[in-house]
Amino acid sequence: MKRIKESLPAMAVIAVLLAAWWLIVVETRSVIFPTPWQVVTGAAELIKDGTLFTHIGASLMRVGVGFSLAVLVAVPLGLWLGWVKGAYSTLNPLFQILRPISPIAWIPIAILWFGVGNASPIYLIFISSVFPMIVQTTAGVHTIERRYLRAAENFGVSRYTLFRRVVIPAVLPQIIVGMRIGLGVAWLVVVAAEMIALRSGLGYLIIDSRNAGNRYDLVIAGMIIIGLIGLLLDGVMRLLEALKSVRWRYAH
């Protein structure tokens, strides 16, 4: 009951926006821009012929592969950069140069290197999500309270045990934050890449609907579905933040 009450303001705002959208389209007598109901019927059409789930599956597959590769690279690399001062001073300037480059700017290079296929968007997802996770993981190591490390050293623990029992648990909250940021960026990038270089996925669905007879009902439906899936993915990452092993650092 409490959750329902908390969601009422958001639901009210959405209802007002839908009503305003419907009213504006009706009053302007637009023959191209759809009403909310036309968007719903367009989405139902995609569900009925099965193309919607095909496009969703293609996009999620690309994000899953690219993001997983980014996690496998970024977390160990970020731990290493945060722990080894020489590695940080050597590589951090390079990462700070590459990090601000828009993932969209990498599209021509991705197509040149990997051609038109799944490899290009997977590379773009990797390159866009790996840097936020590296930076966040490195920052997490740098913010570990020295008293934890000194206490472990006083007990004479090995470096392996120190890293496994002290460093990684202390950095885990920052790693999850970096993953949440990286996943959000990855979902943005895959849609943009699919508009340019592929023939499947939600990005392709939007651009193809625009080109194939100005089906703006399908364009808007695709946009809303992208937003809903993005919200769902963010919710999954928030569940990870709520784990006891992660939440402890934010207890205060």
Q: What is the tens place of the pLDDT at every residue in 64-75?
A: 999 999 999 999
- How many C-beta atoms surround the C-beta of residue 80 within 10 A? 16
Under DSSP, the state recorded for 34 is P
pLDDT tens digits for 228-241?
A: 999 999 888 888 77
pLDDT value at 58 more than 70? yes
Listed range (47-51, 119-123, 243-247) with the worst mean pLDDT: 243-247
Quote the strand ranges of the chain, DSSP E.
none
pLDDT value at 249 more than 60? no
Please name which of 235, 188, 168 lies closest in space to residue 66, comparing C-alpha atoms.
Answer: 188
Task: Give the CA count within 13 Å in the CB-facing half-sphere of 136.
Answer: 19
pLDDT mean across residues, the chain: 84
